Structures are given as C-alpha cells and as structure tokens.
A = this chain, B = another copy of it.
Amino acid sequence: MAVDDAPKSSPKSVEERERVIVRFAGDSGDGMQLAGSRFTDATAVLGNDLATLPDFPAEIRAPAGTVGGVSAFQIHFAARDILTPGDTPNVLVAMNPAALKANLPTLERGTTIIVNEDAFTVRGVQKAGYAVNPLEDGTLEPYQVKRVPMTSLVQRAVEGMEGVTSRDAQKAKNLFALGLVSWLYDRPVEVTERWIEGKFASKPHVMEANLAAFRAGWSFGETSELIDVQVRVAPATDVEPGTYRNVNGTQATALGLVAASVRSGLPLLLGAYPITPASELLHELSRHRDLGVRTIQAEDEIAAASIALGAAFGGHLGVTSTSGPGMDLKTETIGLAVMLELPMLIIDVQRAGPSTGLPTKTEQSDLLQALYGRHGESPLPVVAPSSPADAFDTVYEAARIAIIYRTPVIVLSDLYVANSSEPWKLPDASSLAPIEPGFRTQPPSEDAPFAPYARDDRLARPWAIPGTPGLTHRIGGLEKADGTGGISYDGDNHQRMTDLRAAKVAGVDVPDLEVSGDEDASLLILGWGSSCGAIRAGVRRVRQAGGRVAVAHLHHLNPLPANTGEVLRRYDRVLLPEMNSGQLSKVLRAEFLVDVEPYTKVKGQPLFAAEIEREILDRV
C-alpha cells in the first residue's frame, strides 16, 4: 500500500509520550465520530490502553457550521492503564471555525490545534459567530496552531480518479484528518485501510476517495514541515493478558443481557420506547434476532415495562430500558413487579433532568427515584456499572439477582457510560457462572397444594410458568396472603408481607465493599456508577504526588454491602463525589449516621480527574 513505499523510518524526530488525549471536532456532517472510532480501533490494536467519549450536538440537526452543530470525539490513550477519556485534549483537530469556537474554552495553553484552513472562509467564520477570522486576530496565540488546507489537499489527492465526484472528496476530508493524526501518533495504517475497503466495498469510487484522502493525510504528516515531531506512545505493559475488544457501555450492556439470557436459558425479550440516550440499547439488541432476541418498540414506556413483565410471567428474561421521563412512566408497572415478585430488569440510562432537562447530557440523579420512587413500601435491588466494560458484568449480576430472587432490579447506567468506550477483556462464555431459573414443575399433592407465595431460603417464591400442568394459579397487585398468595386484606398479613418483601431484598448476597489506595489514610473517597474512573484517576494523581487517600466504589446501591457502615466509620472523613445534588450521600447518612460529605456537580459532563484531585487536596 501507498505508505509502504514511503520511508517507514521518517526523517522527523520522534518523541515518546506516556499518554495523549486527542479530540476530533467538526460539523455534525463532517464524520468526526467515524474518524474517532477508526483511530480508536487502530490504537486498540496497537495495544495502548484507551478510553473514548463522543460528544454529540444537543440539537437533532443544528444549522451546518454553527456551534450548536459541532460534533466531537475524544480519545485518551496511553502506555499504561487508563481510567477516563481525559479532561482536556493535547491535540484538537478542528474541521471548521465552529468546532474551534466550541472547544477553545476547554483548552490549556500550548495545546496543539490542527485546523482545516479551507473551512475558515468569511461565511464559515460568521456562521460560527466570530466577528473576525480567529486564525488572523491572535485569538490562537496561546496555542500551537497547524493550518492545513485539508479540503483542497483531498481534492488534489482524488484528482482524475475514476467516478469520484468533488462531493465524494468533500466528504472524505475526515479521513485526511484521520490519516494525519494516525501518522502523528504512528498508528498502524492497515487496520484503517482494511476497514475502509470493507465498508465501501459496494461503492468503489467512494472507497478510492477515502483511501486516497487517508493516505494523503498520512503523507502530509510525513512530508510537510508543519509538523516536525512524530509522537510514539508505547503499548500498555500493565495490561492483563487476554483477548480484548473495544466496547461502549451500550454494547457491553447488550452483550451482558444476551450472555445472561444464554447462561440462564431464558429467552431475552426487551420492551422499550425510544428515548435519548437509551434508544441505542434498543437499536443494538434489535440486531440480535439471530440469537433469539426479541425487541418490541412499545407504544409508550408504560407498555414497554408491562411487555417486559408479561414476558417474565411467561418465563422469559423480561427487560425494559429507558432514560429520564421514561423512568417516571414505568413506576407503576415496576411496583406491580415488586408485588408479583417476578424477575425483571429495568435499565435506566440516566440523563440530566428534571423533566425533559438536557437529553444529551449525563447525570446520576435518578438514584433516589430508583430506590424510593414508587408509592407504598416497594423495595427492590439497584446496581450501577462503573465503566463501559463493567456494564457487561453489572447487567449479568442484575439478571442473576432478578432471576434467583424473583424481583425487579434497576440498573442505573448513564449517558456517559453508554457512549464512552474502553477496551474490554473478553470473558470465556463457558466461564460465566450459569444462572438457574429453577422453574417449579412438580405438581402439588393433596397434602401439599401449590403455594405461589411460599418461599425458599432466599425468601424467593416459586416461578411456575403458564403451560405447566397442575400449577395453574393467579397473581396480581392486591396484597397476597403469605404462602398461598390469595387476596388478603388482613392487617397482620400485610405487615408480614411488607417485612418479607423488604427482608428478601435486604438479604440479596452482595460482595463486601473493597477499599484500595492507602487503606489506613484518614480520608476515604467513595464513589458509585460512572464516576469510578475520574475518582480513581484523581486519587492516583494525589497518591503519585505523595498524598495519602483510600478509595472504594459501590456497585450495589441496594442492598449495600454488609461492611459498608464499618468501612465508612473507619475514616475521619468520607468524600462522595456524584453527578447529582448528593443523593447517595443522603442514603448513607440515613443508614449509618456517618457525616458523608458530598462533592456534587450537575453540569451535564462527567466528573473530571482534576476536580477530584482538587477536592481531595482541599481535604488532606
């Protein structure tokens, strides 16, 4: 291929770096997500550890060239293990003035900015809301700006190509940028070229244009004076051996659900109603018909939850997924599931609220609703993934709890976990602990009639599915008589059943809370859900600088690990960063009467390692 004949050992000086953060930014139409994910694959294959985060525009389609229409993709890769997609980039690729304007505020002095010079026309500059061209007026003085006429370079590269229109060329400029950045960090070109060839096999001229653009970008890096150093980031060494794949939280969630379905032998049925950001899970699972997965787009979230519950009654793994307002609407059905004591998974991909709020921004503010947002005493288990890859284990665990305890379980994911990605060490399917549905099948006898609400030692009730001879029975939302499950208006029975439902959930087997870092420090940083990476990164910085701090992370929000109180009491101070106004802190304070200090942020962005570092330093 083209670059092979180019001198592999480029004349330019090469610099080693431990970690790098690159951000591709352009108009929604510029294909930045594609450039970013291709770069990610090449990087993964190279063996760097990495984490990525796409940043979509809030508007469905803001006018082209406006700040509202900017789409970006950030990748953080390193020679050692990575915890977050990074706070601010070392290199920003800005395909147009709007992309520059949208990202400038977050940049630190000295950041390298690669701009597509051709896009900085008078009209383009105006559309972005600049009075004068920022390339001219010294706005960029604090940064290292590389002006690259990408559009024209691509035009030139495809000149005279069979059937390639100038529009094809236009659309290919993201691959030029990709090629350039790929050279800059010496990424393997084969991975990308193979992908281009596969992707556009059916459209040869598009394939050609894209390949040409990609190679032009690479050669530009190699040859132009503009960029004088090539940066090398060695493969990560501290990575566990194994086969890896890059996944975002949505994919990991889908895979975890399919895995739980296969390992439990329960067919998977998803009832969902589209909503940002949860829709992606519906789309993802809809593709797995070949694995027997059934998805139903319901008329609304009430129906979506009811469809999942109806399927559960039929002996399937009933799942429903949603975000924000959708959770509100599922409330009543979830309450019915609590009363019916049937397995059911509710996946809440949290977004910024209240009400419609900020649909494309992340938040962790549905925790109290998940725990308490139903009328009456209606307890259920709640778990939360700590990273994209962890979503696989989390939903698998949620399915295990739901199935063996016969209870709805809420999984609190969020937009950040769902969209960001990281390498995932592939488990061996057969190594996944099988989940036993243990359907009741043996018919009852005269002396032992079937009691749908008799309980096993886990306090779980029998699950007898329609079609099983001799076990016909009726269940419903009215209070049940202990054991027989008949309707009961008896006060003492209601007390007993209320206590039993609570005891069952409180008794779910949950691993102890593990503390790492300086276990004997006086400050504990406790986190939950998607803030795990930022917290650990912040803690790492503090400890590398010699600070002493302990860190722990809650995967189970209900019930809490048995040793939680004991752990909290071990420390003089407990800091709890969360993307809400202090919801988990409330829960822990009530439970353990420990003065947990929340550090809260609701700005639609994930927590940053730097914030955590600062908050810790303020306290040690």
Contacts and interface: CB of A to CB of B under 8 A. Distances in A.
Nearest to A360: B489
A127 B466 CA distance: 35
Nearest to A602: B498
A426 B76 CA distance: 71
Contacts of A498: 581, 602
Interface in A356-404: 356-361, 363, 365-366, 368-369, 371-378
A433 interface: no
Given A332-B328, A358-B494, A373-B369, A590 B581 contact: no
Contact of A376 (B324, B376, B478): B324
B586 A494 contact: no
A286 interface: no
Interface residues of A, number: 64
A520 to B, nearest CB: 25
Interface stretch (A133-141, A210-218, A335-343): A335-343
A495 interface: yes
B353 A377 contact: yes
Contacts of A353: 335, 374-378
Nearest to A57: B489
A372 B580 CA distance: 13
A602 to B, nearest CB: 5
A291 interface: no
A352 B353 CA distance: 30
Nearest to A604: B491
A129 to B, nearest CB: 15
Contact of A355 (B58, B327, B336, B585): B336
B581 A586 contact: no
A476 B356 contact: yes
A502 B580 CA distance: 12
A479 interface: yes
A196 interface: no
**Which residue, A368, A477, A489, A491, has most C-beta atoms of chain B within 10 A?**
A489
A418 to B, nearest CB: 16
A60 to B, nearest CB: 13
Contact of A478 (B335, B357, B476, B601): B357
Given A355-B376, A360-B489, A605-B491, A329 B327 contact: no
A325 interface: yes
Contacts of A325: 332, 335, 375, 477
A582 to B, nearest CB: 9
Contact of A590 (B338, B580, B589, B602): B589
A530 to B, nearest CB: 16
B589 A593 contact: yes
Contacts of A357: 339, 376, 477-479
A369 B327 CA distance: 13
A611 interface: no
A352 B604 contact: no
Nearest to A340: B355
Given A377-B365, A590-B586, A603 B492 contact: yes
A497 B194 CA distance: 49
Interface string A420-444: 0000000000000000000000000
Interface in A297-339: 324-325, 327-329, 331-332, 335-336, 338-339
A587 interface: yes
A452 B191 CA distance: 54
A595 interface: yes
A443 B604 CA distance: 35
A411 to B, nearest CB: 15
A357 B489 CA distance: 9
A478 B358 contact: yes
A574 to B, nearest CB: 13
A198 interface: no
25 contacts: A58-B489, A324-B376, A325-B332, A325-B335, A328-B374, A338-B354, A338-B355, A352-B479, A353-B378, A354-B377, A355-B376, A355-B478, A356-B476, A356-B477, A358-B479, A361-B494, A366-B375, A369-B372, A372-B373, A373-B373, A377-B580, A377-B581, A587-B590, A589-B593, A590-B590
Given A325-B335, A368-B368, 10 more contacts: A327-B375, A328-B332, A339-B355, A352-B376, A353-B375, A356-B478, A361-B491, A365-B377, A366-B375, A502-B581
Interface of A: 58, 324-325, 327-329, 331-332, 335-336, 338-339, 350, 352-361, 363, 365-366, 368-369, 371-378, 476-479, 489, 491-492, 494-495, 498, 501-502, 580-581, 585-587, 589-591, 593-595, 601-605
